[in-house]
Structure 1
């Protein structure tokens, strides 16, 4: 027994001896060899200061800085050190009472404890900072002024694209997704600021400073031996043209709706306007919270990004897609005609067409240029009722929905800003649930003219024009073209070319011919550009809402989609102006102005006159405008920006 126990005893002794040697070696290293921890432990008069990095800058396609950094100051407090200070004077400077002072101290203790710094008064106004800076010796050692970078927007545009930054909330700090953040840190909450937070934020640094007997910083501790430098965030380079964006926001003033312009050759977004828009400078600095609250409740909903969140029936702008499906399935050819006498009589009740003249739907090209409802209602029914699918209920409806999904409808496309809407493409399951199996192609016939249950976002409509212009391909629409010194591969998915189904070049050519006729001789002549062939399509979408609890038909939404030049498109665009009537009235001119500005970098005299008319037109309900504070907020931000 003792023979077996002896080796076991020696093994245990060796393990214990090894652990003792390891501990002694580590202590020797820390206390004799490595001086860092010993010095920091002995240095009770050392102040640990966080150095916040410079957040990445954002540039437009012409390398113009459209978002930069300014500096404001936070007043921070260490509750355990806030003793024997002139509390009354500090309250007077901050314009608070003693009760509020005590409340903030208690909140700081609850939030971060007694010996850690907490923000006491964030983003001080310049006049308050000036008074504090002169008198800080009266409030030390408990209080300190800490520089804080805030965003500035020299072009006062693209608010819903860029997004805003704000201090991280206590709730977010409990989320494991934000483990690298500390109380008081700022991060992106919306827009590009949120999507690209990981590259824009940079990396915090630490600075150790020696304090004197009055706790005043005297210089770097140990010549900065233990300091770590802050690493600036990376810059973003956008496809956005800020001047085109400004023009779009100007055109949409006094209007609800959207403009989305994309480069079909890359998927880069050239402009994205949500009207009415607001000055992004409202959401920076010491008045950010107050301004956000006002924007949030404003009757015109400026914080709602209509370009990616609003969903509309596309109306006649959808007819090119109906034509492509019909051509691809072989139920029509480009020469297919329909004897329209002003209405479609194939279902239970007539579906009216705006044209009565003979031959206006004699072929696809004419039907597109005249926007014949009867023609496209019939083409839709031919497609979904096709015998090779077993009829609409067996496979026809689902096949049609699959086409629409391939065109980018009914799901998020994947743009690089958050909160994109899905839209709605009804399929077989949708109609089975809604009508309990009792439905046919007449139930959904209005899909043929872009009405019924179909809903698209302006972004989806603009992307569809990229598909047509490219004859069957697109890149995921995005803003960021490149990231300086990037090794994250965040942008790889935006470089991939997506091919749509198997539709032939012949089918696309037939549709493009019809769309160029729309602009040259049809319903979209207001979008003509001298010397440039434009493909386009007008649309007028019926609009229903609730008035006093009753579903009521309201004024139609005006729509226009286009691309130019037709043979080698450099811009594709979708314009929606809510409650403004026919597509050619306002949406068409806006599209023409935007395309001409981008393609020629100037506007003709005729176009300038057209622009003046559009800008002066207000389509938002006057009662809604009367309750809105948006104009006064934007004016205040503009005045503030002009001050030196």
Structure 2
């Protein structure tokens, strides 16, 4: 019995010991191993605040800040801490509904986890920030956080600077979670290209919270904080005053301007028109502004300076002359007996100069832009017996043109550059089924046919001509603060490229003389500046565009390229004005004012009237207005069909807009209007309203016609009663076609303009 009792006692002790061990192990796990309750305790008492660094500042060549920072506030949420809040009141403050509230909470939890702060609403407007700052303590899990936001003090250089935007899922994946949801990243321009230098490093601060979720002080005397590191500043070659002047001169026009310093490759100014205010893509309204820019048919977000591909027109001729001289197919004394047309090939090529001797030598041929001379030179280059075939001749010519920086990307330090197009034999094999010769592409010698370039490439080509054979890759950034001199981002821009330095200085001098004559006595006379020797070349590229499925011939593009001064050049400029006509009319004065401003730091008083005149010229193509109307009205019609609300669509049916619905060529109603006349399968009520509006318009038209006929009859009756000898009235036969056929218009020609295919950039 005692033994039995002793055994039972031992068993009970073992049971209690086991229970104690289990409880101890659980306590050890909860307090030591598991971080759950520790994390919850810390969350109740501490607030972990991310500190976003200020992005690097961008300066122009004179040290002026052209891209800086200001402070706005984001509304942040930590999903795990959102408990027992008045959702309805919160939604009223933020301006959303409860469904959107719950969607954002779930989205933040899924994308960034329940314990990490996520942007609930970014860049609060001032009035919303004031409301939230007063009431934020009522909403556990929410806080306001400073956000450095970009600001553009000069409202200029939008395409160069670029813009920043919140990271998306694709960027998060590519960065291997280096970025967090809510981070901002460069999306275009210098902001994107130099993102690693500009972004800085995120910091962390720990704050103590009270029982009302208010921040009352820093934790551990800031010893656990990690300070944010500001981004590195960029110093550029840009001259912001020159940039602003270029944007002013290109206002109301479609085109581009590029100015480069030949000795360094530093870009002094770059403008794409139409442009936009870069501040529109910062702040609370940036999404609406971005959507408006995307839907604009004039494409203000499109950087024509690096992406616009145009036929070069006669601006190619100095390059063609240098190739011919180097190949030995022409000499400085070579001439061509031109009488206003080139007839050596089956298709005549027009030349505006008719007087004898205007192409007696190379210098005169450049000065007077003789099409016949340069078509003949191009054919001599291709048919050179040294190559034994025109196919080899074309490929050799392509090598030369590529060496002048055409037909490939130059590597400028902003993204999305295009390379233009220099055709090879395959392009003509396809077009002519392998049966072609030098006449098939003769107009390429005057910058037409399939030759396409960007304004940046033409400005760089002028640097090569000015430097007599070498160039540096065009770039904006001169230095990065805190970066070594051999920084990989900038190292390649310091390399000197000498692709055509083998061409003799004597040959370059002949071409320089011809280009200076263009400014002094030729088509570039509007660019003359007393006391400055400008070497230039005008160009006129034909312009065709597909509108409503038809090829429509529009006003030619205006080209002008130059460098100055002739000795020790300081600036090279390329200007293109779409639909501008002759190169000397629109593009040349713009380049001239830019050269004067840069070299003399001022514009002469006598030329301020010219500056004002160019600024006021509006050369925006009228067809863009019509295309914009059709796109907007189509979207309004789609919205009306889907929602049943025709308010937006109705305004497009007012008399002031109706004329835009006429087809460009034959006056027929557009497919859009014909489609809108069909009953809507989606909303019968809308169909009834549209039918009613149509009936009212028809009744008004019939009533107006009746009134006109009655008035005309009364007039005839009165005339007949007062003049017995009057002849009987015979109604006029109405015109069969009142539409305008743009394709039938003949363009005004000049030495730079020939009948030629053209591609639309």
Residues 361, 516 of structure 1: alpha-carbon distance in 2 compared, 3 angstrom cutoff: same
Q: How many Å separate the matches in 1 of 2:479 and 2:116?
A: 39
Shift of 1:300: 1.1
Aligned counterpart in structure 2 of residue 438 of structure 1, from 435, 440, 448: 435
Q: How many residues align?
A: 593
Name the SS of the counterpart of 1:491 in structure 2.
helix
Q: CA deviation at 1:574?
A: 0.4
Provide the residue aligned with 2:127 in structure 1: 127
TM-score by length of 2: 0.76
Residue 183 of structure 2 corresponds to which residue in structure 1?
185
User: Which residues of 2 match residues 487-502 of structure 1 at below 5 A?
Assistant: 487=484, 488-501=487-500, 502=502
Q: How much has 1:609 moved relative to structure 2?
A: 1.2
2:142 is matched with 143
Map of 1:333 onto structure 2: 331
Name the counterpart of 2:80.
80
TM-score (norm 1): 0.89
In structure 1, distance between residues paired with 2:136 and 2:230:
29
Query: Where in structure 1 are there 5+ consecutive unaligned residues?
Result: 1-30, 630-644
What residue in structure 2 maps to residue 465 of structure 1? 462
Q: 1:39 to 1:220 in 2, by over 3 A?
A: farther
- Which residue in the other structure is 1:324 paired with? 322
- The residue that corresponds to 2:414 in the other structure is 417
Q: 1:295 to 1:147 in 2, by over 3 A?
A: same
Separation (CA, whole Å) in 2 of partners of 1:444 and 1:610: 39
Q: CA deviation at 1:625?
A: 4.3
Q: In the TM superposition, what are the counterparts of 1:191-340 in structure 2 within 5 Å?
A: 191-340=189-338
Alpha-carbon distance in structure 1 between the residues aligned to 2:628 and 2:564: 37
Give the aligned partner of residue 379 of structure 1: 377
Q: Is the 8 A contact 2:443 2:449 kept in 1?
A: yes
The answer to whether 1:451 aligns with 2:441 is no
Deviation at 1:38, TM superposition (A): 13
Q: Which residue of 1 aligns with 2:397?
A: 400
Distance 1:354 1:447 in 2: 17
- C-alpha contact (below 8 Å) 2:137/2:213 kept by paired residues: no
Q: SS of the counterpart of 1:516?
A: helix
Partner of 2:163: 164
Residues 628, 154 of structure 1: CA spacing in aligned structure 2 closer, same or farther, 3 A cutoff? Answer: farther
Q: Secondary structure at the match of 1:150?
A: strand
Deviation, 1:47, is 2.2
For residue 531 of structure 1, report the CA deviation from its aligned partner.
0.7
User: Which residue of structure 2 lines up, in the alignment, with residue 577 of structure 1?
Assistant: 577
| 2:440 aligned counterpart, secondary structure | coil
Q: Please give the alpha-carbon distance, in whole angstroms, between the structure 2 residues aligned to 1:214 and 1:553.
A: 71
**2:471 paired residue number:** 474
* 1:604, distance to aligned residue in structure 2 (A): 1.6
- Structure of larger gyration radius: 2
Q: Is the 8 A contact 2:137 2:212 kept in 1?
A: no
Partner of 1:518: 518
Q: Which SS does the other structure have where 2:67 is aligned?
A: strand
Cα deviation, residue 225, structure 1: 2.1
Q: Secondary structure at 1:431's aligned position in 2?
A: helix
Q: Distance in 2 between matches of 1:90 and 1:41?
A: 24
- Aligned twin of 1:639: none
Deviations 1:181-226 (A, max 9, x none): 1111000000000000000000111122233333333322222222
* Correspondences of 1:507-546 after superposition (within 5 Å): 507-546=507-546
Residues 41 and 226 from structure 1, CA distance in 2 versus in 1: closer, same or farther, beyond 3 angstroms? Answer: farther
Q: Is the 8 A contact 2:112 2:180 kept in 1?
A: no
> How much has 1:120 moved relative to structure 2?
1.1
Q: Report Cα offsets for 1:422-454 as digits up to 9, x if no partner.
A: 100012233233323111100111110000000
- Larger mean Cα displacement after TM superposition, 350-359 or 619-628: 619-628
Distance 1:78 1:179 in 2: 19
Report the alpha carbon displacement of residue 626 of structure 1 after superposing the two structures with TM: 7.3
Q: Judging changes above 3 Å, is the alpha-carbon distance between structure 1 residues 601 and 627 closer, same or farther for their aligned structure 2 residues?
A: farther
Match of 1:601 in 2: 601
Q: Is the 8 A contact 2:359 2:368 kept in 1?
A: yes
